[in-house]
Structures are given as C-alpha cells and as structure tokens.
Amino acid sequence: MQIASVASAFPEFYYKQEVLTEALKHDWRHRLPNPDILDRLDESMQVEGRYLVNPIEFYLNLQTWGEANDSWIAHALELGEKALCKALHGAGIGAKDLGAIFVTSVTGIAAPSLDARLSNRMGMSPNIKRIPIFGLGCVAGAAGISRAADYVKAYPDQAAALLSVELCSLTLQREDISMAHLISALLFGDGAAATVVVGDKRKSDGPEILATKSILYPHTEKVMGWDISEKGFKIVLSPEVPATVIKHLGKDVDAFLGEQGHKRSDIKTWIMHTGGPKVLESTATALGITADDLAASWACLRKVGNISSTSVLLVLEDVFTNRRPEKGSLSILAAMGPGFCCELVLLRW
C-alpha cells in the first residue's frame, strides 16, 4: 500500500491575521469586556494569515445556520473537486478508475453527501464505494488515510481517494464569546486536500504504508468537538487538550512502533497535525523531539492556521513535495481529535 499523491486547494480570499483580528474586534467590541484580549490571543497563535471561502463582509451579515451550510455545500464542492483532480493527476489515475472515495468534513453537512455530488461532477464509476465521514474532526485526515489503506489492502489492484474539505470559517458563532470560541475564531481557516492510496498491485514512488493504529481514550468525549444547536456548530475545546497529548502520545507511539519492531529513534520525519502552538509544543514534549523536527507542521500553522482534518494532509503535501525524506527512511503521520482519539500511520519512503 502506498500514498501515490497528495494535493491541496484553497479559496480565493486570503487575509493577514491582523486584518481578521481587527474585524472580530470591531464586531465584538460591545460584547467583550476587554476587546484587547483578541490581540493577546492572536499573538499566542503564531498564525500569519488564513484562507476564507467568503469575503469578511459575508460573515458579518450571516444570520442562520442554513445560510452557512448552503455556502459550505457550494464551496466544498468547488474546492473538493480542485484538490481531488490535482491528486488524481499526480497519481496518474482517472476519476472513473477509483475503487473507493472517502470524504471527510466536520464543518457542514449534506445529503446526498459530497462524494455522491462529486462523483456526478467528475464522472466517477457508478460502482464506486462511497464512504462519507463526519464527526472525527482534526483526526480524520490521518484516520482517512488509514481507512483508505484498509480498503486497498483488501483490494490490492485498486486505488482509493481521501478528500478532506474543512470550511471552519462557516462555523463562526457571533454570539459566542467564550474563550474556546475566541481561540477557534483566531486559529481555524478554510481549505481542502486530497490523497490517493494505491494497492500493492499498483506502483508508485510515494511512501509505503507499513501499519496503522487507531486509539480511543475512554470517557474523553468533552475534550473536543461540537455542541450542535439551532445556530449550528458551537466549539467544544477543553484546556485539557495539551495535557492529554502529553499524557498519551509518547507511550502510544512507542507501543505502536514496538508492535512493528521499531523504536522512536528509527523515525526520521514527523508528519503531525498542526493543532495550535500549545498542541505542537505538547507534541514535541511527548515525543522528546524539537521544534525543528516539527518544522513542516509549524510552517503550515503559520501560513494557513488550523484547517481541522485537512491540516495533516497539508503537512504531508509539504513533506511529499519539498522535504522528501531519503529512500528507505521511516515517518510517523499522526493526528488527534474528538473522541478523544489518536490515529497513527507508519510510512516508509
């Protein structure tokens, strides 16, 4: 099983972080006890800018969840098609030749799902297996690669695509001035990424997927996720996230590698979900590595913020394209998300 390609797509609107912060301060100035708190939070985010699917004015006039979700469907299809077309081209595979497609998003809903609508738009086989994924949040980029690997392991002559589309800007709750939402409004952005995974009977120069592991931590449902109401998605983001990473990630990686006959020092490249500054710092602490070892993740965070499940695929794209490890070396690709849970993927280049 190999990752044959990975590609991204972004909206047309890119704003510097200071522009977005000022817009939020202006909108919330009469509701926040101290609007300057946004400046202090912004400084701690270490984000330089973010993509949005709509101009700022759209969000200031947004009234209902229905309006937000209609925008999500339209833009998710557009960006999803772009990312998927680029990934298929990179893998040398036509849309009609895909055996399965996994689509993950946690920022909107649609039935028929995005995969069905994209199948019609892109001319996929009417027999393609469609697996829409909702609810995994940030972990879904890594989990989607794992599930695509499961598929091509069963069908080694086939190819499966994973598409992640996250339009986090459309979950903005203008009435919510909780600390969790202030952080979310300054951290998350919009984008899409896709990857193609092929079975052993197909050849690629991408990394081989040696093993995967899913880990669910019992009774941690309130660490991260959404509360869903008539107003849409309200962020659940506990201060416990960094501590949870430190508590679990290192020992889980060691156990996973031990099962494969490896140890942590064998890993040459770490392809980690961007999270946020505290999450990346906690990741380095948990794994006993440095900020330089997470350079691709830090670069992604600075440039586009956290794009939920899409982010780990953006880090993978950067490594795949610009930081490719030497042949035969090992990498860990990982993400954590609602559940609370972790997904680990062992790669060999």
What DSSP letter does each residue of 24-89 carry, written as one string? Answer: HHHHHTTTSS-TTHHHHHHHHHT--EEEESS-HHHHHT---HHHHHHHHHHHHHHHHHHHHHHHHH
- To 10 degrees, the CA torsion angle through 154, 160, 162, 146? 20
Q: Are 146 and 190 in contact (CB under 8 A)?
A: no
C-alpha span between 62 and 27 (Å, rounded):
12
Active-site option among 85, 138, 300, 342: 138
Beta bridge partners of residue 245, listed in sequence order:
none
- Specify the pairing of strand 159-167 against strand 100-104: parallel
With left for phi above 0 and alpha for psi between -120 and 50, is residue 225 left, alpha or beta? left
Active site residue 138: yes
Maximum CA extent, the chain? 62
Q: What values do phi and psi take at 123, rounded to 5?
A: 75, 40
C-alpha span between 183 and 275 (Å, rounded):
12
C-alpha span between 239 and 225 (Å, rounded):
13
The residues annotated as belonging to the active site are 138
